[in-house]
Chain A
């Protein structure tokens, strides 16, 4: 079938990146309507991956990809089973709706094209993450989601709060990513495989290894930071500084679920141990409670929803770690339900903000008649979030209670945690869906009316999908839930829950939850005040801790900088050259292998002697030059002499390059020297002069001796013979030097040109910084005129 062709899947996976490239151009041409075209990219992904659903529903695992660097076992390969397919469908499906929503929400924004680009990059990174089969690819995409979310959260970069939130998210999730990398390396070391598809059958090797705990903790560090588990939850609500479409996407389908994805993915391998079944539920449960309590306190619609995302992620982690098959089914159902209702509710919050001008729930009311479509979408999503029929959230919540309910104390604790968490989420869901819409009409900053189709299409669609998925639950389970649960559990699972309530403990617990929720809802203002008082009494939290951590690091780096970078160029130069001299002399002294005295060639040709003479004249000119420009140009003479030597001895390529490098070096040095404020005459004391002289003599003689000893070694022709023999056959080129650069060692060259570019950027910014301070860097062209020290 066509869906299995690796080329097609690869192109489909690259589609968001390609769309990101053309997005700014398209937006310039079409304005916000470019959203319709750009949404085609995620739509194409959605349709392409639907093609896999038949195989995946049969519990097959589809793999494919390309080998990239076989020598390092690096490949671009994907693994598509129930878990990754569900994630792909959520990301691309919700992604398409979010693209449309962004078009409506940021209509007329001057940087809309850039925003579309960032969104598509983010989507591409997330898709790559969930389909990755190889560790390295997983890690690369993992960090790419951190970087792209940094760009998105800080999109409104003129605001201090945005920049701080973006930096915070990057530090926390990027740092977690490094822990993940270490964890993956440990796993690689234990098992010797780099493919997830192979790893999934090696679970026992890993669990019995003495390094299991280390690998587990490192992987959890990555997953917990990404999925905002307590106490690393603080970056997520701060990320609300991003425009609402970002929040909707971030929370429903993408980055914050990446950690949950990873835990689910590795459950068959790392799970089923005491550590796993203790750490995950404890942290998840704590996060659930902390998240909901903090959510109650908020009055901003987005922040209320953000904190419930924290708690939902906690619930997911708790269920993933709980260890029973029911718990895994519950996690799967809840994940899907959460994506649908949270995406919808965020878009509703943005809609209200966009149309009414405020997101503060205490300043909103009576919007029901003004915004009927929004109201319907919000109600549906809230019912799903509250876990009531006939929406998908109901199935998820029932399954949660099925999974947790038992009479042993461990289960009882988590049942209680789930009741409190679910009850409070019920409160928040309805606070978002009822408070702005019911009650007397409140005067809002903007005159509220229904938003354009681009804005309400997304939330309405998601709500309808949540309804249909629940009503057609056997079909949903067959296509989505069961394959995904099987992938997470590592053994075939069948999810059976339907909308018809079963008389029993789960139903009773649901009723308790609803009663608890309604009670809190009625007393919401008092609850908010109470939590506020507690928080003020504590007066400290991870968010402040983060600031202190960052300022501590900054202070540490300033202290270190003061020691290693005193800001005196002559100190740097002396240290550098002394180290070079030591490095040159030490090996020769240690092994006692001094070069023998070179003999003067008896058959020296005239032109060789001429080159030698030129070099000597140049040297003399450098030493006796009165001003710097002359010295620099004379120094160039040495380089030209060497280039001539290369040419005489049959290396035209090298000599060519040497000529150019030497010319440019002279030009750039001359330009630099004329910029510096330097005194005309030499102010060094005799002592300084002696030190400088000995250092330069040591370096000069060191290089001389070193080169002599290199040339006195017997020549090993292995490489040159290899390249001479193969450059024509393999690389179709006769210029061996160039063939090595662009073909045999192309990847090296790629790294080198990256270095060239980064160096260029660094030099450029150094020049800019210097001219940024005070007035122009140099007032006078004349290098020999003494300037007042700044």
Chain B
């Protein structure tokens, strides 16, 4: 790497200190920064494939009837889009990439607690991903069940479901090991003086996420194994004709997959909690409540799985209980939003790219959260169930929330690890295109759902045409913004201006080390004497 020739006064960074060269210096490295970048490159590759598929789906929906593909292809493509985005991008993306890159530095550790296990997790992720990709081209062709693999269809369909769910099982195992590694790291490897009350809020959110990974993923694991057993052995556990109960499958599936939503969003909230104080030049408002609300979201979020099943056939009491618990999750989420907004109050706000993404996160996530409440209430849920409204809602939460936080984190932290930075103006233009394109793409879906257009259908009635066309048009703006952002980032990180230790004036530990950091993260062991948002104590000019 020719990264810091002009920064000769610096110590060798983690990019060029190793004895090994070439690809083996990366794929067999136990350095958490290299593993974090490996995760980043792999999740972004799958993200781009899934984006392309998403664009194809939107083109199909530009007009009623068949446009560019038939219904069978459409079913396969939306399944693959969902599986790639959920299991290979957003769930492993945040903990794998930014959890690995940033969390150990923020707590003052030289690496995670189990570096070799960390590498093994990435390998498992890759093996699982290859298995999933392999399942698309072998056997009966790509699975067409939707990413939820609902029985009985997933048992009856002739497509390659068994291999795909086995791949997801392997990826899930990788997620569990990452969670174990992170909890242990945060408990055991904090620097001297890094008390729990001084942990950066991103670390708190990674901590809460890691617990969800540990406690929820095994249930998904067994559920997926049960699908394979059902398909291969005919165990009949979910087959009503043989006494089984398909609703039990849905319970087991959502016991994992609803908490998984919090694996996707919690680290994103952590990123926002880091960026607001730095770009408003103010200590965060309500540090303890933000830290606590991450744990509360992880806890309460694990008790609400059955709100996905209001129309599946449950007792009215169960619906009432799960509806109530779902509303409970809104409380810690709202605590966070209020505290972020209060942090901005009378702040000296600097509107640079990470901050723009963070600000738009609040709006998009709030729309996503509020449309979620509409579905948490049983009466409105029955009206919008399985419509485009749901599709709009979860894209607002997962793309508008977790995705925009991911982009924010990329602009905020990646310069640290490359030692160079992107160009500001294209970054702002890309943000504008993404924000506008996002809303034009997904807001029409919310309206379409309210009017009654079902999700997962490749055809629709003529009265839905205009909104669908608008949505497809928006997806092109969105894609343009994405392309501009990725080009600008990769150009800047490889050839841009070198940055110093602390370009944003942050007070957390990662800004005290050189950019890019040395292999052991710090030139000397840090001793923490102040909180993460105490800008006076940080000695920042």
Chain B binds chain A? no
